[in-house]
Amino acid sequence: MPKVNGASLLRGLIGTAGLLVVLEAAGRLGAWDTERLPLVSTVLLRAGELLTDPEFLVSARSSLTTWALALLVTIAIAVPAGLLLGMVKPAELAVRPLIEFLRPIPSVALIPLVILLYSETTHMRITVAVYAALWPVLINTIYGVRDVDPLAKETLRSFGFGPGSVAYRVVLPGAAPFIATGIRLAASVAIVLVVTSELIAGGIEGIGVYITIAASGNRLDLMIGATILVGLFGILVNAVLVAGENRLFRWHRARAGAAT
Amino acid sequence: MLELVDLSHTYGSYRAIDRVNLKVAQGEVVCIVGPSGCGKSTLLRSIAGLIKPTGGTVLLDGKPVDGSPENLAVVFQDYSRSLYPWMSAVANVGLPLRRRGLDKKRRDAAAMAALEQVGLAGAAAKFPWEMSGGMQQRVSIARALAYQPKLLLMDEPFGSVDAQTREELEDLTLRVCAHHGMTILLITHDVDESVYVGDRVVVLSKAPGTVVGDLPVQLPGPRDQIHTRELDAFVRLRAEVGRLVRGMTPHRNTHGFGVETR
Ligand SMILES: Nc1ncnc2c1ncn2[C@@H]1O[C@H](COP(=O)(O)OP(=O)(O)O)[C@@H](O)[C@H]1O
Ligand SMILES: [Mg+2]
């Protein structure tokens, strides 16, 4: 699990602020036509204003809902499937070639097909996001299940617990740190694909749609402002999930630390 | 209570144990000693139902064992792998009690009582990775005790702790098991330990393991790490077991305790 400490965070903030100041200065000194490409300060101001702009908020809420649903569907499919494939070796061997074939297919390439299949845009977007987000969760879950110590399982079996109890009480908690990492990766991937599908396939609501409309009105300040907000949301989600992992899986870090 | 009849197991074409016959009476502490790799763990895993032996039968109270028997607990050598790192000591100890149909309150109470018996009442809320090796093995022992099995299997339980802790844990095991009237099958490769802990020492030959000696241990109780180990009877018995483990011919009955070879 990546660790964020105060010093590295501070250095990152200083670096970012420095870059922004340089860009702002360059813009003000006439490095580019600020009528076309707005100043850093203008973009940041717009981004702040967007947070209270009802039109933007409707789009943001739509994207957020799509993203959350996509993540839920991903977890509901990939975690049970990963547990099954991780525990039942023959099943994994049978499905492995299919996974290796499907996994490298870019989800974006499926958008035209998915558009034809779905009349409802939300379903279409969820499908596209789930297709991409599924893999990290699935692969991590399989890997996590493999990593569970056989002796930990045997101990419970020796007390007379059946395979279901062993799966629930040992395999699932033992694999949980890996599953959580998979979910964190999936959360980022899903953000990218929700916005991408909104940009490519259009629709009525969604941040991608908002950006497309801003572009057609030549409002680069709004486009970049909205994009920055998406990026910040990604950072926030990641930070929250990392913090959750560090809290919940202290035992995993302690053990990994002791082993190395 | 436990009877092994011609118990054999082969991994692929490798024969790990070969027709092991053994009878253990209720309340007995039997030590099984044998050289490394002679199939001791295989024997234990067959009894615990963790592997299906390729030949022979395991009878518990006269009934053949199929799968993991009720009323049996195992303490493994590898405490750090056998305890659940995501659970506190008290949760680890209480987990098997779910099989007993106890509610959380009673599970916790029983787990606390067992931790107290092994001297870990103060560490109940600690996680395994916050404990020393000796403490972790105490937790495993407490887990087995709380379950109150009729038969306790221990596979080199003190093989991974320092000498001092090892002696403490040997005495602890003797004490609490006598208190519970449990039947114990303790596996070890340490001749000294087998004589010190056992009411009976069963010697396995080199692979494929089979019973080559079955010696009653007649030492005055209660046993004591210093005095018991310096008794003539202890020293002679230890030598006898040592010879058997190394595959030498035993000195038949020359020292006044029964040496039975098969
Ligand atoms: N799962 C297994 N597959 C194949 N061989 C095994 C397996 N487990 C143990 N063995 C072999 O069987 C022999 C006896 O092993 P084991 O019962 O662990 O011995 P001990 O506990 O007396 O040291 C060893 O030679 C070991 O390599
Ligand atoms: Mg062994």
Task: List, for residues A19-43, the tens digit of each pLDDT value.
Answer: 999 999 999 998 888 888 899 999 9
Whose CA is closest to atom 4 on ligand 1? B11
Residue A94 pLDDT greater than 60, yes or no: yes
Q: What are phi and psi of B8, to 5 degrees?
A: -135, 150
Question: Looking at the structure, do residues A6 and A65 belong to the same domain, yes or no?
Answer: no
Residue B249 pLDDT greater than 80, yes or no: no
Q: Sorting pLDDT into bands at 50, 70 and 90, what band is A4?
A: low
User: What is the percentage of chain B residues whose pLDDT exceeds 70?
Assistant: 95
Q: Cα A249 to the chain's mean position, in Å? A: 20
Reduced to 3 states, what is the DSSP secondary structure of residue A162? coil
Residue B260 pLDDT greater than 50, yes or no: no
pLDDT at res. B104: 93
Question: Looking at the structure, do residues B201 and B187 belong to the same domain, yes or no?
Answer: yes
Question: Looking at the structure, do residues A62 and A32 belong to the same domain, yes or no?
Answer: no
Mean pLDDT of A4-13: 84
Question: Looking at the structure, do residues B33 and B157 belong to the same domain, yes or no?
Answer: yes
Which pair of structure tokens corresponds to residue A106? 């870019």
Q: Sorting pLDDT into bands at 50, 70 and 90, what band is B252?
A: low
Q: Is B38's C-beta closer than 6 angstroms to any atom of ligand 1? A: yes
Question: Looking at the structure, do residues A190 and A241 belong to the same domain, yes or no?
Answer: yes
Please check whether residue B48 lies inside any domain of the structure.
yes
Question: Quick one: which H or E segment has residue A18?
Answer: helix A6-28
Whose CA is closest to atom 2 on ligand 1? B11
Please check whether residue B162 lies inside any domain of the structure.
yes
- CA nearest to B26, candidates B78, B53, B62, B68: B62
Mean pLDDT of A88-93: 92
Question: Looking at the structure, do residues A112 and A168 belong to the same domain, yes or no?
Answer: yes
Pick from A151, A154, A251: CB nearest B129: A251
Q: Sorting pLDDT into bands at 50, 70 and 90, what band is A6?
A: confident
Tell me, what DSSP letter sits at residue A34? T
Please name the residue ranges forming H helices in B37-88: 40-47, 79-82
Number of domains comprising chain A: 2
- CA nearest to B147, candidates B75, B197, B47: B75
Question: Looking at the structure, do residues B35 and B159 belong to the same domain, yes or no?
Answer: yes
User: What ipTM describes this predicted complex?
Assistant: 0.86
Longest CA–CA span in chain B (Å) reads: 57
Mean pLDDT of B219-228: 84
Please check whether residue B79 lies inside any domain of the structure.
no
**Domain enclosing residue A23, as ranges:** 1-37
Whose CA is closest to atom 27 on ligand 1? B37
Residue A228 pLDDT greater than 80, yes or no: yes
Question: Looking at the structure, do residues A16 and A143 belong to the same domain, yes or no?
Answer: no
Q: How far is the CA of A135 from the centre of ligand 1 (A)?
A: 37
User: What is the percentage of chain B residues whose pLDDT exceeds 90?
Assistant: 55
pLDDT at res. B181: 83
B78 at the A interface (CB within 8 A)?
yes
Which pair of structure tokens corresponds to residue B30? 């039997």
Contact check, Cβ <8 Å, A251/B99: no
Question: Looking at the structure, do residues B154 and B244 belong to the same domain, yes or no?
Answer: yes
Number of domains comprising chain B: 2
Q: What span, in angstroms and rounded, lies between the C-alpha atoms of B186 and B158?
A: 10
Question: Looking at the structure, do residues A168 and A227 belong to the same domain, yes or no?
Answer: yes
- Other Cβ atoms within 10 Å of A93 Cβ, number: 10
Mean pLDDT of B157-169: 89
Residue A2 pLDDT greater than 80, yes or no: no
Size of interface A-B (CB pairs under 8 A): 63
User: Which chain A residues in 120-159 lie under 8 Å from chain B, judged by CB atoms?
Assistant: 149, 151-152, 154-159
Question: Looking at the structure, do residues B54 and B181 belong to the same domain, yes or no?
Answer: yes
Question: Looking at the structure, do residues A251 and A122 belong to the same domain, yes or no?
Answer: yes
Residue with token string 């070879």: B261
Of B112, B127, B148, the residue that ends a domain is B148
Buried b or exposed e, range B168-183, using 16+ CB within 10 angstroms: bbbbbbbebbeebebb
* For testing contact with chain B, the best of A158, A247, A249, A251 (most B CBs within 10 A): A158
Question: Looking at the structure, do residues A68 and A120 belong to the same domain, yes or no?
Answer: yes
pLDDT at res. A119: 83
Q: Is B42's C-beta closer than 6 angstroms to any atom of ligand 1? A: yes
Of B148, B174, B195, the residue that ends a domain is B148
pLDDT at res. A260: 40
Q: CATH number, domain at A160?
A: 1.10.3720.10
Please name the residue ranges forming H helices in chain B: 40-47, 79-82, 89-94, 104-117, 133-147, 163-180, 191-197, 227-230, 232-245
Give A157's contacts in chain B (Cβ within 8 Å). 49-50, 68
Pick from B49, B74, B127: CB nearest A155: B74
Between residues B180 and B257, the one the model is more confident about: B180
Q: Sorting pLDDT into bands at 50, 70 and 90, what band is A256?
A: low
pLDDT at res. B257: 47
pLDDT at res. B262: 43
Question: Looking at the structure, do residues A33 and A84 belong to the same domain, yes or no?
Answer: no
pTM of the entire structure?
A: 0.86
Q: What span, in angstroms and rounded, lies between the C-alpha atoms of B18 and B112?
A: 42
Q: Is B14's C-beta closer than 6 angstroms to any atom of ligand 1? A: yes
Looking at the DSSP assignment, which residues form a beta bridge with residue B11? B14
Q: What span, in angstroms and rounded, lies between the C-alpha atoms of B39 and B61?
A: 24
Q: What span, in angstroms and rounded, lies between the C-alpha atoms of B143 and B163?
A: 22
Task: List, for residues A49-86, the tens digit of each pLDDT value.
Answer: 999 999 999 999 999 999 999 999 999 999 999 999 99
**CA–CA min distance B244, chain A (Å):** 31
Of B131, B148, B165, the residue that ends a domain is B148
Helix axes A172-201, A54-87, angle to 10 degrees: 140
pLDDT at res. B255: 46
Task: List, for residues A99-128, the tens digit of each pLDDT value.
Answer: 999 999 999 999 999 989 988 889 999 999
pLDDT at res. B250: 59
Question: Looking at the structure, do residues A102 and A126 belong to the same domain, yes or no?
Answer: yes
Question: Looking at the structure, do residues B24 and B134 belong to the same domain, yes or no?
Answer: no
Contact check, Cβ <8 Å, A158/B73: yes
Give A258's contacts in chain B (Cβ within 8 Å). 129
Task: List, for residues A164-185, the tens digit of each pLDDT value.
Answer: 999 999 999 999 999 999 999 9
User: What is the percentage of chain A residues whose pLDDT exceeds 90?
Assistant: 82
What mean pLDDT value characterizes chain B?
A: 88
Question: Looking at the structure, do residues A93 and A213 belong to the same domain, yes or no?
Answer: yes
pLDDT at res. B226: 86
Q: Which of B8, B9, B10, B11 most suits a substitution to test ligand 1, by most atoms within 8 Å of the C-beta? A: B11
Give A252's contacts in chain B (Cβ within 8 Å). 85-86
Q: CATH number, domain at B213?
A: 3.40.50.300
Mean pLDDT of A155-172: 93
Question: Looking at the structure, do residues B161 and B223 belong to the same domain, yes or no?
Answer: yes
Question: Looking at the structure, do residues B51 and B130 belong to the same domain, yes or no?
Answer: no
Residue with token string 């299940």: A145
A49 at the B interface (CB within 8 A)?
no
Residue A187 pLDDT greater than 70, yes or no: yes
Q: Is B39's C-beta closer than 6 angstroms to any atom of ligand 1? A: yes
User: In terms of DSSP bridges, do strands B200-204 and B29-33 run parallel, antiparallel, or are they unpaired?
Assistant: parallel
Question: Looking at the structure, do residues B190 and B118 belong to the same domain, yes or no?
Answer: no
**Domain enclosing residue B199, as ranges:** 2-71+150-261
Question: Looking at the structure, do residues B59 and B159 belong to the same domain, yes or no?
Answer: yes
Please check whether residue B77 lies inside any domain of the structure.
no
Q: Residue B169 is which amino acid?
A: L
Question: Looking at the structure, do residues A147 and A241 belong to the same domain, yes or no?
Answer: yes
Task: List, for residues B103-125, the tens digit of each pLDDT value.
Answer: 999 999 999 999 999 999 999 99
